[in-house]
Amino acid sequence: MTSTQDSNATRMSLVSRARAGQPAAWRELVDLYGPLVASWCLKCRMDSHATADCVQEVFASVSRALPSFTPQRQAGSFRAWLWSVTANKIRDAARAAQRHPLAAGGSSALRSLQQIAVSDPPLEEPTSDVELSQLTQRALQQVRSEFETRTWEVFCRTVVDQIATSVVAEQFGITSAAVRQVRSRVLRRLRQQLGDLL
């Protein structure tokens, strides 16, 4: 990636790039958030087929509504909006299942599984710490190529390994201020990738 591409990428968030119709950005958005949407569906007792359908419905809805999305100035605002879209699609799926009851027949085990209703989604986003960590790891992998190796190493030593700024500065032969600047720059880019900054 050239320095011009790098500066353009860091100025526009993933959501902004997807909103602008960039196919690569849309793929990144789906790759980043698709597993989280699927886990939300599974938590609401959807089976794997219904989950796959719901994920498609969610992203079809997101593609139509993305131009009107207005982020809040807080971490997780895109994720919260995505949860509300997902919760609505889960409710839609539950209503559709009630309108079209399954035919009798088949094994008793299959009938028992079919009787498990999709549970009503909770009001609050049901993301666990593990899912949030996985989401962050996917976002970090997506932005990794935008930074030089040395910059990434400084970031990892301070944020991932949680080594004191002064120690990292000494290890890399730079000032503590430079370490803080690197950390800030990568974290800002991560927030953009997660949709928190437009």
Q: pLDDT by residue (tens digit) across 53-66?
A: 999 999 999 999 99
102 near 114, Cβ under 8 Å? yes
pLDDT tens-place string over residues 25-45: 999 999 999 999 999 999 998
The pLDDT score that the predictor gives to residue 144 is: 95
117 part of a folded domain: yes
The pLDDT of residue 109 is above 50: no
Token pair listed for 36:
């989280």
Alpha helices by DSSP H, listed for 44-126, are 48-65, 77-99, 108-115
**Residue 122, pLDDT score:** 76
Tokens at 91, concatenated: 């409710």
Backbone angles phi, psi at 32, to 5 degrees: -75, -50
Q: Which secondary-structure segment (H or E) carries 102?
A: none
Is 137 inside a domain boundary? Answer: yes
Which CATH number covers residue 57?
A: 1.10.1740.10
The domain in which residue 37 lies consists of: 3-193
User: What's the CA gap between 180 and 162, in Å, rounded?
Assistant: 13
Q: Which helix (H) or strand (E) holds 1?
A: none
Residue 65 resides in a domain = yes
Average pLDDT for 92-116? 60
Domain count, the chain: 1
pLDDT, tens only, 119-168:
677 778 889 999 999 999 999 999 999 999 999 999 999 999 999 999 99
Residue 198 within a domain? no
Q: Do the domain assignments include residue 106?
A: yes
